[in-house]
């Protein structure tokens, strides 16, 4: 997910990703300033409780600082007012693209030629628009963007189909459109490769929404014109025939009314899936060329013609781009791969990347104050956001981006994407990043995340990876007053409230440095504006990256050896401190980037070894895990002295010389502790290439409760100017213990000003499972916004996080409840938003109470084994008396599948060849599943889901398609639910890695299809106080009062067999949740509101019961003798054998004909035989002589009809059989089967007659022959409703024959709507034919666009 935020002055922009419990991409879009800053929209990847809106921020007081008193607040406010921060026009423009804060202005004033020239930055993001303002040239006139690449594959078009032009110079495109080729295009081979793309698959949701509105407006005008025409025709008919008595006139009027109704319904059901663009590729003798036909976009046949398109080639060759149309104003790039068999159409999937690129390197010669940080730097755009996923990153995109960065010999990478991680500094992507940094010397800079203000919220990869420089977001008074347009700017700069904080789970600092986290920068042309305001760590990262690009430019110009190790040390050791409080390092990192100071440091370090210092820490007595810092979080850890072994290893680049660099390396280091009373260390160590270990003793016994931060660092005795050359971060959190029944934490009279944060660390009592919170505000004169966060850390799990954004318009009370994990330390973070209340002199007074509740059970996950036996549950309350009210509901079912096919394929293109030279291999697994009814489903892969950065497999991607090859859903590590109609489906799973042995182990990977049950099918489980309760039916358990410490036992019964979902195969798993308690301290209106602590409950579907009738044998009521039954079996076997014969050649057909003749003579009136013969005839190939084939069908159908005594059949069907008479029931069923055979024969005969008539339209036929169709139809409607889905096609054809296309279309539309299964192409083809016969060109064009969605010729590339 991206990590920026963009807000409009009126409304927050829609988030790029669906809500997930990860980092929030807070992206604000603002065309102009507003009187009050809006908050960013929150979004993220993966499952999420409640997404949080909010953006912008401030540095806050540390959690262990004393609360501010009202007097202090008033004094501070008065001082800020007195300071009277004012802007001039130049300073206002400067605030829109902040550079003073990081010393960029000073640096460029001293070194104007070091403005990024010679530096190449790879932008890993959502795709940069090469047409955006400021991104055409550098300050010294070079091309700004050297390459634009879609690394995800979402814009790929299969162009493997080869066609040749006809005599008129026209080709047939992949969409079926006839395209005129420009005669001036050079194509020696005369081979044209064609493909097509639904253009909306290339656009962002925002752009699609705009286009849909504009296109619908035009379509509505055309449809309204057609409605007016239809209404006029109906009115004229009624005037001419005021009282039509004739049946034909009534039908004619009905037809006109049906036309009018169809048009109106068409408008109601309008859903624009976008036009199709045809893509044509050819080789001109030098390079591959691409042209695009975009006529469908503007609806003007004179615009967007293929022949008028200026051909493109790979962007890096000519650096040219195209624009789809004036309507969308969206630029695109084309890149050709695999010898012309694949074209990548590259667009952006959000404005995010263009904004990021503009901050880093935009050049505006007319407005130099709006230049990016490094206007002389060049860029490559590597799109890692996948349009199919809304803009989420994929493993494929990340790896291809790294390959491109190495191939282009980039100096820097900026990546403003990320999310929480299970394991820090771990995973396939991290391994490749380490190689890129260590071997190829690329400096990697990334956003730390927008998930603050709580600690432990830094995201991967920026905040959790040792090789990546993670950047926090800073806001200065100038930025607040200018870019954010706040009424009164803060007196000092600060970190934004939402900027993520460290430490990481393994103790690393998390945030490396801070940089300005907001700017007004370029955005894509399709937004119809040139710049907008966004803020987030997505913006601080390119601000820092641009600053580092200045360093790179200067170091190259002055021949200073360039290394990520040197650069990182320079920027960290020269950063300006934002706060004097040690604990704030977890917020700001080492401080605010200062480019000028960093350059002086790099100059002075010119002759030093290019080396970094890797730290690996283990607690004495433990071999694992290997940590990067010391992190004591919890009361037990703070009650005793602990000793830690630090292994310090110098790390050189891979090409370092053994004799010249490794052997001579030796440094005498003096060790320092920021607090010797807590952290004890040796004084000196001698470090050589083979590393050195030393011990640290931490004694937190006497520290106060709260957050404490210390460091151990090493100084070079011979060059103390270098500053710390390594640091060991030490974070100690000492929680407070609660007492009482139930335990309560009360915080009274907390005073908040803008950006102030209060942190409390609580030892959550063992036995607690949920909390109930009351927040009361007073003493406020303007609305105030608060961020509330709680975080608990659990080994090998993502942080357990609850968050809420609360706005108080006036003094009031708000209540919350959420689940907690007993026995784990919980951070409670209360923050007043950085820009909230900044114009007020009154601090906000807050009273906060948090009450802990809990019901503990002996097993958190309840797994019922599918038997009739209930499961025993033992519940306890360890904190206070609680009301035990168990409730369990099963609302989903997971059905396991194994692949029916697995294929390995080495990927053919250079974009999938790793820098090491290894080619990536793809494993495609194919799964088949069937839905008996429409349902909402989601694929589930326990091994791979929910991990992108902390996963040793490179990537995963799936798609679900139907039998028509129409793709219903795509996804990656975070599968989402999709609603599917009844039918059969194929799921293809695509997994990539360069190690085929790893992929071999996944060939039989189990996948679950998780299906939501309809609400009416939810299964509520029952509880009992006795083990035999489910069978006997008594001893129901409803509720009880738990006394502290006293156990209460009860049973949960399995679901009854009758309630199990139909068609659930044995081995499937019912999934649901179980809760035990109720909220007690508030919500008086809902006395039985369930506690938020819920747990999983599973039930295995048992084997199906054996049918009682399977062993009964022959029905008791049968009257047939053994001989008769034998004859019947022989007859049925012969008929079955007949259907198995294939008629592939003349000999086969002759043998089949002989067998048919023999069976007819043997069973002359046996209707099932003739029905089977008809079925076989229908299955014959019709390519040679269609008319003869249809005549055969008519003959076979007539034989079925003649074999049936229709009078006897009608008589038997009219009788009501005795429901208790088995024989009469069997007779009734047999008669219904015969009726169906009769109706099917009449139906097939009617279709054949209509086909013959259409194939011989000019051949005159006698009136009696014309009546055959009508007579056949009238016979059919005697037996069945001919307008149903099964027989409706014949009714459509009949109405069409009679010239009543309106009625035919109405019947056909009803058939399509009533059909709950997957679409049938022949019905939609027929619909288009009827619409064209009526003359509705706009409806026909709309339906033809949908045909590409419903019935694509092939599946798209992965």
Angle CA(811)–CA(812)–CA(814) in degrees, nearest 5? 145
Question: Given this model, what pLDDT does residue 1113 score?
Answer: 46
Neighbours of 1034 (CB within 10 A): 10
Listed as ranges, residues in the chain with pLDDT below 70 are 1-85, 299, 1081-1088, 1107-1119, 1182-1184, 1257-1266
Token pair 């998390």 is found at: 510
| β-bridge partners, 198 | 276
Question: What's the CA gap between 175 and 1346, in Å, rounded?
Answer: 12
Question: Given this model, what pLDDT does residue 2 score?
Answer: 53
User: How far from 302 is each of 166, 221, 307, 310, 323, CA to CA, in Å?
Assistant: 22, 20, 11, 15, 16
Q: Which H or E element spans position 970? A: strand 967-971
SS3 636: coil
Contact, 435 vs 404, CB < 8 A? no
- Tell me the pLDDT tens digit for each residue of 269-284: 999 999 999 999 999 9
Respond yes or no on whether the N-terminal peptide bond of residue 576 is cis (omega within 30° of 0): no
Q: Is 125 a catalytic residue?
A: yes
Sheet holding 518-522, edge to edge: 5-6, 531-535, 518-522
Which among 417, 479, 414 is positioned nearest to 442, based on CA atoms? 414
| β-bridge partners, 1071 | 892, 1098
Question: What's the CA gap between 1211 and 1015, in Å, rounded?
Answer: 44
Question: What's the CA gap between 657 and 896, in Å, rounded?
Answer: 54
Q: Which H or E element spans position 818? A: strand 813-819
- Tell me the pLDDT tens digit for each residue of 1241-1296: 999 998 999 888 888 765 555 555 568 888 998 889 889 998 888 898 999 999 89
Q: What is the mean pLDDT of the chain?
A: 88
Question: Given this model, what pLDDT does residue 1182 score?
Answer: 66
User: How far from 101 is each of 97, 377, 434, 555, 1173, CA to CA, in Å?
Assistant: 10, 20, 30, 22, 86
Question: Given this model, what pLDDT does residue 1217 score?
Answer: 78
For residue 1299, the 8-state DSSP code is: T
Token pair listed for 1270:
């009508």
Task: Choose, from 115, 125, 147, 425, the residue flagged as catalytic.
Answer: 125
Contact, 272 vs 244, CB < 8 A? no
Give the CB-side neighbour count of residue 805, counting CA atoms within 13 A. 19
Torsion angle of C-alpha atoms 238, 241, 244, 248, degrees rounded to 10 = -90
Q: Is 538 a catalytic residue?
A: yes
User: How far from 676 is each of 579, 583, 643, 681, 703, CA to CA, in Å?
Assistant: 22, 17, 14, 8, 13
Q: What is the maximum span of the chain, computed from C-alpha positions, in angstroms?
A: 114
Task: Choose, from 352, 484, 590, 1189, the residue flagged as catalytic.
Answer: 352
Question: Given this model, what pLDDT does residue 1263 score?
Answer: 54
Question: What's the CA gap between 492 and 497, in Å, rounded?
Answer: 14
DSSP per-residue string spanning 1148-1187: HHHHHHHHHHHHHHHSTT-HHHHHHHHHHHHTS--SS-HH
Torsion angle of C-alpha atoms 1177, 1179, 1184, 1187, degrees rounded to 10 = 50
Task: Choose, from 30, 467, 538, 612, the residue flagged as catalytic.
Answer: 538
Question: What's the CA gap between 1349 and 1346, in Å, rounded?
Answer: 5
Question: Given this model, what pLDDT does residue 29 score?
Answer: 33
Contact, 790 vs 828, CB < 8 A? yes
Contact, 405 vs 399, CB < 8 A? no
Q: Is 1189 a catalytic residue?
A: no
Is-above-0.75 flag for pTM? Answer: yes
User: 417-427: string of b/e by CB count within 10 Å (b at 16+)?
Assistant: bbbbbbbbbbb
Token pair 């619409």 is found at: 1331
Q: How many helices (H) and strands (E) does the chain have?
A: 28, 59
């Amino acid at each position: 997910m991206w990590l920026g935020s963009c807000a409009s002055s009126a409304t927050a922009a829609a988030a790029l990703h669906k809500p997930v419990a990860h980092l929030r991409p807070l992206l604000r879009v603002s065309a102009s300033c507003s009187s009050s800053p809006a908050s960013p929209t929150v979004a993220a990847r993966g499952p999420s409780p409640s997404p949080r809106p909010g953006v912008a921020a401030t540095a806050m007081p540390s959690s262990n600082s004393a609360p501010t008193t009202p007097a202090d607040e008033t004094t501070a406010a008065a001082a800020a007012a007195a300071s009277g921060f004012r802007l001039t026009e130049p300073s206002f423009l400067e605030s829109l693209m902040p550079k003073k804060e990081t010393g960029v202005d000073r640096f460029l004033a001293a070194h104007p030629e070091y403005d990024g020239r010679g530096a190449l930055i790879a932008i890993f993001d959502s795709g940069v628009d090469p047409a955006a303002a400021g991104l055409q040239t550098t300050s010294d006139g070079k091309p700004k963007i050297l390459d634009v690449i879609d690394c995800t594959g979402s814009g790929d078009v299969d162009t493997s189909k080869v066609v040749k032009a006809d005599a008129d110079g026209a080709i047939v495109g992949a969409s079926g459109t006839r395209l005129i080729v420009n005669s001036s295009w050079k194509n020696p081979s005369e081979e044209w490769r064609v493909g097509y793309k639904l253009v909306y698959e290339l656009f962002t949701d925002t752009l699609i929404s705009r286009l849909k509105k504009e296109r619908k407006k035009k379509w509505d005008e055309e449809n309204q014109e057609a409605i007016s025409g239809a209404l006029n025709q109906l009115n004229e008919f009624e005037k001419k025939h005021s009282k039509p008595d004739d049946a034909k006139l009534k039908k004619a009027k009905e037809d006109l009314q049906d036309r009018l109704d169809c048009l109106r319904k068409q408008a109601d059901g309008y859903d624009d899936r976008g036009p199709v663009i045809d893509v044509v590729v050819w080789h001109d003798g030098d390079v591959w060329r691409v042209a695009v036909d975009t006529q469908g976009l503007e609806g003007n046949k004179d615009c967007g013609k293929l022949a008028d398109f200026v051909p493109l080639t790979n962007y890096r060759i000519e650096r040219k781009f195209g624009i789809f149309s004036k309507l969308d104003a969206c630029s695109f790039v084309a890149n050709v791969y695999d010898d012309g068999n694949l074209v990548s159409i590259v667009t952006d999937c959000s404005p995010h990347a263009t904004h990021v690129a503009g901050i880093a390197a935009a050049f505006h010669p007319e407005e130099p104050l709006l230049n990016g940080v490094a206007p002389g730097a060049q860029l490559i755009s590597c799109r890692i956001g996948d349009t199919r996923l809304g803009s989420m990153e994929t493993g494929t995109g990340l790896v291809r981006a790294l390959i491109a960065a190495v191939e282009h010999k980039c100096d820097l990478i900026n990546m403003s994407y990320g999310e929480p991680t299970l394991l820090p500094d771990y995973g396939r992507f991290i391994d490749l990043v380490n190689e890129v940094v260590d071997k190829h010397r690329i400096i990697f800079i990334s956003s730390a995340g927008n998930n603050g203000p709580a600690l432990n919220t830094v995201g991967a990869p920026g905040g959790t990876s040792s090789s990546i420089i993670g950047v926090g977001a800073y806001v200065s008074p100038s930025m607040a007053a200018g870019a954010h347009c706040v009424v009164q700017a803060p007196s000092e700069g600060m970190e934004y409230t939402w900027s993520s904080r460290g430490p990481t789970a393994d103790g690393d600092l998390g945030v490396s440095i801070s940089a300005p986290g907001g700017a007004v920068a370029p955005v894509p042309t399709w937004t119809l504006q040139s710049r907008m305001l966004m803020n987030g760590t997505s913006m601080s990262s390119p601000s820092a990256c641009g600053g580092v690009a200045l360093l790179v430019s200067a170091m190259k110009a002055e021949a200073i050896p360039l290394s990520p190790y040197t650069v990182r040390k320079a920027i960290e050791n020269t950063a300006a401190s934002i706060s004097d409080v040690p604990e704030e390092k977890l917020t700001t990192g080492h401080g605010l980037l200062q480019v000028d100071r960093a350059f002086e440091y790099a100059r002075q370090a010119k002759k030093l070894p290019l080396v970094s210092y890797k730290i690996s820490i283990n607690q004495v007595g433990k071999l694992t895990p290997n940590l990067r810092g010391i992190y004591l979080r919890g009361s037990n850890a703070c009650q005793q002295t602990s000793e830690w072994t630090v292994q310090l290893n110098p790390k050189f680049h891979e090409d370092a010389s053994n004799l010249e660099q490794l052997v001579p390396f030796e440094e005498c280091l003096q060790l320092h502790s920021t607090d010797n009373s807590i952290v004890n260390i040796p004084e000196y160590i001698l470090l050589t290439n083979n590393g050195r270990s030393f011990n640290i003793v931490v004694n937190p016994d006497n520290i106060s409760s709260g957050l404490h931060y210390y460091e151990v660092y090493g100084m070079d005795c011979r060059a103390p100017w270098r500053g710390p050359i390594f640091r060991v971060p030490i974070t100690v959190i000492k929680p407070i213990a609660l007492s009482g029944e139930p335990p309560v934490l009360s915080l009274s009279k907390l005073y908040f000003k803008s950006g102030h944060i209060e942190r409390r660390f609580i030892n959550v009592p063992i036995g607690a499972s949920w909390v109930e919170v009351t927040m009361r505000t007073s003493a406020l004169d303007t609305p105030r916004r608060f961020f509330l966060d709680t975080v608990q850390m659990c080994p090998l799990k993502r942080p357990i996080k609850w968050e809420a954004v609360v706005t108080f318009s006036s003094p009031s009370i708000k209540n919350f409840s959420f689940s907690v994990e007993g026995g784990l330390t919980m951070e409670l973070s209360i923050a007043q938003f950085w820009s909230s209340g900044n114009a007020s002199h009154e601090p906000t007074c807050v009273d906060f109470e948090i009450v802990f509740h809990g019901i503990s059970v002996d097993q958190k996950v309840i797994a019922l084994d599918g038997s009739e036996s209930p499961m025993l549950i033992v519940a306890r309350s360890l904190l206070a008396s609680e009301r035990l009210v168990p409730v369990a509901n099963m609302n989903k079912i997971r059905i396991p599948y194994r692949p029916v096919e697995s294929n390995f394929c080495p990927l053919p293109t250079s974009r999938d060849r790793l820098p090491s030279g290894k080619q990536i291999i793809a494993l495609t697994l194919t799964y088949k599943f069937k839905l008996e009814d429409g349902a909402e489903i989601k694929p589930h892969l326990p091994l791979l889901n929910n991990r992108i950065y902390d996963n040793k497999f490179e990537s995963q991607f799936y798609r679900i398609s139907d039998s028509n090859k129409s793709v219903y859903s795509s996804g990656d590590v975070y599968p989402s639910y999709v609603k599917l109609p009844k039918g059969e489906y194929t799921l293809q799973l695509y997994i990539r890695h360069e190690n085929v042995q790893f992929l071999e182990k996944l060939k039989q990977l189990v996948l679950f299809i998780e299906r939501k049950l309809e609400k009416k099918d939810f299964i509520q489980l029952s509880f009992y106080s006795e083990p035999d309760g489910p069978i006997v039916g008594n001893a129901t358990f409803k509720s009880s009062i738990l006394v502290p410490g006293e156990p209460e036992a009860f049973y949960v019964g399995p679901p009854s067999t009758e309630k199990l979902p139909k068609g659930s195969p044995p081995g499937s798993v019912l999934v649901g949740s179980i809760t035990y308690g109720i909220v007690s301290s508030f919500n008086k209106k809902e006395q039985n509101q369930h506690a938020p602590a819920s747990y999983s409950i599973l039930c295995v579907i048992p084997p199906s019961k054996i049918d009682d009738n399977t062993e009964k044998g022959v029905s008791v009521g049968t009257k047939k003798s053994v001989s008769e039954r034998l004859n019947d079996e022989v007859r049925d076997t012969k008929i079955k054998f007949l259907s198995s014969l294939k008629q592939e050649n003349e000999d086969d057909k002759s043998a089949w004909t002989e067998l048919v003749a023999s069976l007819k003579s043997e069973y002359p009136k046996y209707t099932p035989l003739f029905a089977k013969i008809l079925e076989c005839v229908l299955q014959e190939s019709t390519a040679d002589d269609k008319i003869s084939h249809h005549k055969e069908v008519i003959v076979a159908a007539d034989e079925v009809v003649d074999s049936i005594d229709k009078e006897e059949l009608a008589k038997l069907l009219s009788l009501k059989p005795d429901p208790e008479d088995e024989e009469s029931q069997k007779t009734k069923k047999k008669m219904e089967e015969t009726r169906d055979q009769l109706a099917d024969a009449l139906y097939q005969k009617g279709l054949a007659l209509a086909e013959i008539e259409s194939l011989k339209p000019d051949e005159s036929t006698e009136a009696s022959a014309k009546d055959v169709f009508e007579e056949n139809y009238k016979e059919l409607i005697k037996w069945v409703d001919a307008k149903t889905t099964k027989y409706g096609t014949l009714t459509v054809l009949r109405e069409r024959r009679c010239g009543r296309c309106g009625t035919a279309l109405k019947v056909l539309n009803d058939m399509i709507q009533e059909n709950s299964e997957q679409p049938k192409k022949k019905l939609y083809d027929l619909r288009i034919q009827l619409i064209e016969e009526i003359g509705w060109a706009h409806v026909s064009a709309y339906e033809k666009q949908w045909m590409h969605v419903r019935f694509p010729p092939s599946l798209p590339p992965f």
